[in-house]
Chain A
Amino acid sequence: MSAEDIQHIITIARSFKEISTRPIKKVPTLRGKTIVNFFFEPSTRTRLSFEIAAKRMSADTFNIAASTSSATKGETLIDTAKNLQAMNPDIIILRHSSSGAPHLLARNVDAAIINAGDGTHEHPSQGLLDIMTILEHKGSLDGLKIAIVGDIAHSRVAGSDIIGFNRLGAKVFLAGPATYIPAGVEQLGVTVCRDIREAIDGADVVMALRIQKERQNDPLIPSLREYSSFYGINNKLLELARDDVIVMHPGPINRGVEMNPDVADGKRSVILDQVTNGVAVRMALLYLVLGGDKTDEEQGGRS
């Protein structure tokens, strides 16, 4: 996705954002369209965000969670998707634990696929809403210093953020214990910091990632307590950043682990703006994927 594509999606998203503030939050744009939320992993925020986005544009939405789908009966992803396809949905929104699952689906069904997070690969709509939020506060990403802190290696949010932030001209600094830094990530044009203070120093944006608690057979950190004492975002650390720094988090937050509560709820936090913008970005994606724009380029299933 080029910088122009990203800017274009954000421009459309901005124009849709206002709809959510109206007394009657509904426009007829996607009336008669069928959108399936096909979620193989638990998700509250992303699923709800896509569903609200679709409903505000009058599309019909259906939710399928892994526990209620045929996945538990041994049906393959492709078979389940082909059965969905036979019911002629316009868009399938997929959340899956395997990296590349949307690519597999896109090769095997006709419906447009939107990636709502695949494995440890990418979460493109989250990347876009993060960009939209930064743009709202900073006007531009060009030349900004953005620190991303936490488990980069297992974060699909980081996967999309790094690509998007880079493409719009930001300087991305990563911080976290070495067990959280993926191999060769410097080749993506980011700076890996051994000391978190180096990443936060002079930063315009600080993004903390959620720390996964359960990874028993792959010891990445000794304890959440130790992690938090070295990499938790607190107000003292933020003194190193620019005065107008904004603090972000893709949620859900482990309060007191990757971020102190006073930071999450503080004046620098834009975490709830991210959630609000998520709906607008997803409205824009649905609109564009269904050909509401001059380009009919498929937005999902690729990065």
Chain B
Amino acid sequence: MSRTIILQNGRVIDPLSGGDGKSDLWIRNGKIISAESTIPENTLIHDLSGKWVVPGLIDMHVHLREPGQEYKESIESGTRAAAAGGFTGVACMPNTTPVNDCESVTRYILEKAEGCHARVYPVGAISKGSKGEGLAEFGEMKRAGIVAVTDDGLPVLDSQLMRRAMEYAISHDLVVMSHSEEATLSHNGCMNEGITATKLGLRGIPAAAESIMVYREVAIAELTGAHVHIAHVSTEESLAVISMAKKRGVKVTAETAPHYFTLTEEAVTGYDTHAKMNPPLRSEKDRQAIRSALQNGTLDVIATDHAPHSILEKNVEFNEAANGITGLETSLSLTLALVRDGVIDEKRLVELMSVAPARILGVPGGSLSAGEVADITVIDPDVRYTFTAEQSYSKGKNSPFIGWELQGRAVMTLVAGEIKHNIL
């Protein structure tokens, strides 16, 4: 029997059991256990007065860059950043070099993840090499450990391929994640289409480039009965389509990222490449729609699309710069701002960042019931800090939030009862 840990006096928020109040959480052998009448010898007790104790946060959309682009991020550095951000698990996208399109790459990722700082859930490619032609081997990758499939970043243009992918995903009980972008319409644009793009002389990406594809995905999900998960929703129009599909009973879930409910296209002014990502930052109207959708359930998940890049890809002409920003270490703080703003409550935060991603991916966690894995995040909702490049564990320093004064963060992260991050 391993040492017992007691997280004492914290506010335990566990949406699945409906619990929200001050209590103690007991952990032993990597699992949550029921409180016992006597405290065993050698028990490690953490006093968490004033802190929140929640099921470990899961970020279902990150780019760990390994194998192949270790100069941007490694599984080691990426999971360290995850733990620092309060994440006990991350789902990593397949656009590595080589692409995660077969079981040997999946195995490589999982081997590298052993002993790292968070659970790693690989996501496999939809097509071989994410080239948009022919299905990757979902079954063998699933056996090796993938939790979903996607051609993230290289969206599937061919509708027949997407249909077959969804059908085939049903056979292997996999969710299909869609980076929804009609690339012939986004047409090399590099920011949201509108007055800001016009002022800056940058080619715009219309909102329709996203919502057209969201509509295709939910239509094919309805046709096939597959579960489609819409990644990084950025527009009001996409939300309207998702809401309509949910009403029709389509198996669709959707995520957004903190930058879409925090920033608008205005952040690009001055040609700041740290405000460049795909889909792009949108208008204030879209930002408000996303905040409402997080509250009313049209959106299920907050995921970061953590996309570390080096200065080589970012300190260049705006239209030449790589898409994407880091997110693991700022996501919780930015989401806590939604709680303070009264957009969502604490329970909803836990649903969006833990319960729903665990359920969608079919992975452990999302619950603090006895017998569950002891993946736990301890949050200090009050602490104020300045997010700096120096304190960031990610190799990528490409964040528009560098220099921001933030409030609330993870102060302890436990994976299977093991402390992976602790700044208490």
Contact = CB atoms under 8 A, between A and B. Distances in A.
Interface of A: 76-78, 96, 98-101, 103-104, 108, 118-122, 153, 156, 159, 182-185, 187-188, 218
A188 B199 contact: yes
Closest 4 CB pairs of A and B: A121-B201, A100-B271, A184-B195, A98-B317
A100 B317 contact: yes
Contacts of B195: 183-185, 187-188
Contacts of A185: 195, 198
Contact of A122 (B187, B201, B204, B316): B201
A151 B92 CA distance: 43
A177 to B, nearest CB: 17
Interface residues of B, number: 21
B317 A77 contact: yes
B274 to A, nearest CB: 13
B187 A183 contact: no
A156 B201 contact: yes
Contacts of A108: 315
B202 interface: yes
B200 interface: yes
Contact of A121 (B194, B200, B206, B320): B200
Nearest to A77: B317
Interface string B200-217: 111110100000000000
Interface centre among B187, B195, B198, B320 (most CB of A within 10 A): B198
A188 B194 CA distance: 12
A119 B201 CA distance: 7
B271 A183 contact: no
A300 to B, nearest CB: 15
Contacts of A187: 195
14 contacts: A78-B316, A98-B320, A99-B200, A99-B318, A100-B200, A100-B271, A101-B317, A104-B315, A104-B318, A120-B202, A153-B198, A183-B195, A184-B194, A188-B198
Contact of B201 (A78, A120, A188): A120
Nearest to A217: B187
Contacts of A103: 270-271
Interface centre among B194, B199, B204, B320 (most CB of A within 10 A): B199
A119 B319 contact: yes
B197 interface: yes
Nearest to A182: B198
Contacts of A184: 194-195, 198
B318 A98 contact: yes
Contact of A118 (B198, B201, B206): B201
Contacts of A156: 201
A108 B317 CA distance: 12
Interface centre among B200, B315, B319 (most CB of A within 10 A): B200
B236 interface: no
Interface in B167-199: 187, 193-195, 197-199
B125 to A, nearest CB: 27
A120 B197 CA distance: 10
A103 B272 CA distance: 10
Contact of B317 (A96, A122, A153, A188): A96
Interface centre among A122, A159, A183, A185 (most CB of B within 10 A): A183
Contacts of A78: 315-316
Contacts of B316: 76-78, 104
Nearest to A159: B201
Nearest to A163: B199
A106 B199 CA distance: 19
Nearest to B315: A78
Contacts of A101: 317
A159 B201 CA distance: 8
Contacts of B203: 120
A104 B271 CA distance: 8
Given A77-B316, A78-B315, A99 B202 contact: yes
B268 to A, nearest CB: 9
Contacts of A100: 200-202, 271, 317-318
A99 B187 contact: no
B378 to A, nearest CB: 40
Contacts of B204: 183
A88 to B, nearest CB: 23
Interface in B264-321: 270-271, 315-320
Contacts of B194: 183-184
Interface centre among A78, A100, A103 (most CB of B within 10 A): A100
B319 A98 contact: yes
A149 B350 CA distance: 55
Contacts of B200: 99-100, 121
Contacts of A120: 201-203
